[in-house]
């Protein structure tokens, strides 16, 4: 936990190609001093978990706009668990109706950032949970 920079995987699960938000977040986190692994579009749950493992990341950020989050996120959480990287902090963004938040929290997603969230808020969130994690 004593490494210099927080490592974040920014991933786009599913088939949707709208990567504007993911790229903005990725760049904002990088500008905030984090190390970013950006996967590009069309990542399967298996691929995402594999990269999270290989790259030994602290945080996985999932961006999805196609509405497939309720189907794909459980598969991703499952894959992370199978690969033994379920200790990472998983956060999500995109077009996700508020009524889906409880189900997503329940499956272990730690935070959900809707459209219009200032990027600084996400930076702050990650810094805060990483600091808490370091303490515990």
Partner 1 sequence: MVDTLYTPEDIAGLDYGDSLGYPGEYPFTRGVQPTMYRGRLWTMRQYSGYASAEESNRRYRYLLEQGQTGLSVAFDLPTQIGYDSDHPLARGEVGKVGVPVDTLEDMETLFQGIPLDKVSTSMTINATAPILLAMYIAAAKRQGVDIAKLDGTTQNDILKEYIARGTYIFLPRHSMRLTTDIFAYCSKYLPRWNTISIGGYHIREAGSTAAQEVAFALANGIAYVQAAIDVGLDVEAFAGRISWIFQTHNNLFEEIAKLRAARRLWAKVMRERFGAEDARSCMFRTHIQTGGSTLVAQQPLNNIVRATIQTLAAVLSGIQSLAVASYDEALCLPTEEAVQLSLRTQQIIAYESGVADTVDPLAGSYYVEFLTDTLGAEIKRYIEKIDSLGGAVAAIEQGYQQREIQESSCRYQSEVESGKQVVVGVNKFTSPYPKLTRLLRVDPGVERKQKERLARVKGNRDQAKVVASLKNLEEVARTGENTMPAFLECVEAYATIGEMCDILRRVFGVQREFLVF
Cβ atoms of 72 and 13 within 8 Å: the answer is yes
Would you count residue 18 as binding partner 1 (CB under 8 A)? yes
Which residue lies nearer to partner 1 by CB, 70 or 131?
Answer: 70
Interface residue with partner 1 among 7, 27, 83, 110 (CB under 8 A) is: 27
Stretch that binds partner 1, among 77-85, 94-102, 104-112, 122-130 (CB under 8 A): 94-102
If binding is defined by CB under 8 A, does position 99 make contact with partner 1?
Answer: yes
What's the per-residue H, E or C state across the chain?
Answer: CCCCCCEEEEECECCCCCCHHHHHHHHHHHHCCCEEEECCCCECHHHHHHHHHHCCCCEEEEEECCCCHHHHHHHHHHHHHHCCCCCCEEEEEECCCHHHHHHHHHCCCCEEECCCCCHHHHHHHHHHHHHHHHHC
Q: Pick out residues in 49-78 that bind partner 1 (CB under 8 A).
A: 66-72, 75
97 scored as a contact of partner 1 (CB under 8 A): yes
Which CB, 2 or 25, lies closer to partner 1? 25
Query: What minimum distance in Å lies between the beta carbon of 83 and partner 1?
Result: 18
Tokens 């692994």 identify what position?
A: 37
Q: Footprint of partner 1 on this chain (CB under 8 A)?
A: 14-20, 23-24, 26-28, 38, 40-42, 44, 66-72, 75, 95, 97-99, 114-116, 118-120
């Amino acid at each position: 936990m004593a490494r210099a920079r927080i490592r974040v995987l920014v991933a786009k699960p599913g088939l949707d190609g709208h990567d504007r938000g993911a790229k903005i977040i990725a760049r904002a986190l990088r500008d905030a001093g984090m190390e970013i692994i950006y996967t590009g579009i069309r990542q399967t749950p298996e691929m995402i978990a594999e990269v999270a493992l290989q790259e030994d990341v602290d945080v996985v950020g999932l961006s999805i706009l196609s509405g497939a989050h309720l189907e794909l996120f459980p598969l991703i959480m499952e894959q992370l668990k199978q690969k033994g990287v379920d200790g990472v902090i998983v956060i999500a963004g995109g077009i996700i109706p508020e009524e889906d938040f409880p189900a997503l929290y329940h499956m272990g997603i730690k935070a959900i950032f809707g459209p219009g969230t200032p990027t600084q808020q996400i930076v702050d969130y990650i810094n805060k949970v990483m600091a808490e994690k370091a303490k515990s």
